[in-house]
Amino acid sequence: MEYRHLGKAGIKVSELSLGTWLTFGGKLDFASARECVKVAIEAGVNFFDSAEAYAGGVAESILGKIIKEYRREELVISTKIFWGGDAPNQTGLSRKHLIEGTKNSLKRLKMDYVDLLFCHRPDPETPISETVMAMDNIVRQGLAFYWGTSEWSAKEIEAAFKCADEYKLIPPTMEQPEYNMFNRKKLEQEYAPLYEKYGLGTTTFSPLASGILTGKYVDGIPKGSRLERVNWLRNEFEKCDMLTQEAMNKIKQLNELALEIGATLPQLALAWCLKNPHVSSVIIGASSVEQLKENLKATEVKEKITTELLQTINQIIK
């Protein structure tokens, strides 16, 4: 397992990390979640990601209970604030919700601090200056060590840095965007100026495109799968033509390429993400211990991805 700096920050995160969305408190019961964390740590994973919105806070509670079994200082724990409830001030990035939401997350996690704290989405109803000031306050209180954004535009991130510079506040350290073979533009193009200018780190999610890059959808949407259960996600994929026959043909070609190097399609997709030098950590999910063990082998497959292979992949996905 390689450990990478989070952009220009001193903290290091494992190149593969374990997320808790739809799994902790969802597909996984406590015993299975505990075993997944154990397997991940034994493989060298030191970074675990959650959010106040995951399973209504249950994911944080499960993760916190499991982490008590390990040395806290050896791990990097993150959570994200935006969707905390149905009341008017339980959603968004106001100073009130950010500070209260963070403290509530820490209670569920049973921790004094998180290492990384993300603004889970941009909030057009709150001035960016208010959000940056609140995050600065949270870090200075020691409730989090670093703060960042998730799925913000480059323009919004730039505004946050400018605000921090103007008011002498702590700027964001990292962004958590979606990144996979079928969703590349934001991380590779839109954020490109931010890496050198600000030293922005990234902890990317959905490396398998919510299961598209496992190959399980080439013959339709299986019953019980994520796209069968999550309507909004299926609708988004249909809008982006990710479930068309053309897309499935690309999946088949990528699967054949994976077999040629002795890997599975998910391992190839994960390793492809790891080859990007601007990716600090790739967050993976797991609905079973067996699936997690297989996907963790992507760190070995990474070494098999040559420049020529990357070119072949680009030709397939176009």
What does the pLDDT read at residue 225? 76
What does the pLDDT read at residue 230? 79
Give the model's confidence band at 247: pLDDT under 50 very low, under 70 low, under 90 confident, else very high. Answer: confident
Active site residues: 54
Give the model's confidence band at 224: pLDDT under 50 very low, under 70 low, under 90 confident, else very high. Answer: confident
Tell whether the model's pLDDT for residue 42 goes beyond 80.
yes
What does the pLDDT read at residue 217? 83
Q: Average pLDDT of 250-273?
A: 97
Do 112 and 60 meet the contact criterion of CB atoms below 8 Å apart?
no
Give the model's confidence band at 213: pLDDT under 50 very low, under 70 low, under 90 confident, else very high. Answer: very high
What does the pLDDT read at residue 189? 98
Torsion angle of the four alpha carbons 249, 254, 256, 261, in this order, in degrees rounded to the nearest 10: 180
Per residue in 285-297, pLDDT tens? 999 999 999 999 9
Is the pLDDT higher at 237 or at 77? 77
Q: What percent of the chain clears pLDDT 70, i.e. is strictly above it? A: 100
CA distance 192 to 199: 11
CA distance 180 to 208: 6
Q: Average pLDDT of 173-202?
A: 97
Tell whether the model's pLDDT for residue 239 goes beyond 90.
no
Per residue in 65-122, pLDDT tens? 999 999 999 999 999 999 999 999 999 999 999 999 999 999 999 999 999 999 999 9
Reduce the DSSP state of residue 268 to 3 states and report it: helix
Give the model's confidence band at 229: pLDDT under 50 very low, under 70 low, under 90 confident, else very high. Answer: confident
**Six token digits for residue 108:** 């569920």
What does the pLDDT read at residue 235? 83
Per residue in 148-167, pLDDT tens? 999 999 999 999 999 999 99
Tell whether the model's pLDDT for residue 55 goes beyond 90.
yes
Domains of the chain: 3-209+273-297 (3.20.20.100)
Do 151 and 83 meet the contact criterion of CB atoms below 8 Å apart?
no
What does the pLDDT read at residue 116? 99
Tell whether the model's pLDDT for residue 220 goes beyond 90.
no
What does the pLDDT read at residue 243? 77
Do 310 and 280 meet the contact criterion of CB atoms below 8 Å apart?
no
**Six token digits for residue 160:** 């946050």
Give the model's confidence band at 241: pLDDT under 50 very low, under 70 low, under 90 confident, else very high. Answer: confident
Is the pLDDT higher at 238 or at 61? 61
Residue 126 φ/ψ region, left for φ over 0, alpha for ψ in the -120 to 50 degree band, beta for the rest = beta
What does the pLDDT read at residue 236? 80
Torsion angle of the four alpha carbons 86, 89, 93, 96, in this order, in degrees rounded to the nearest 10: -140
What does the pLDDT read at residue 202? 98
Q: What percent of the chain clears pLDDT 90, i.e. is strictly above it? A: 88
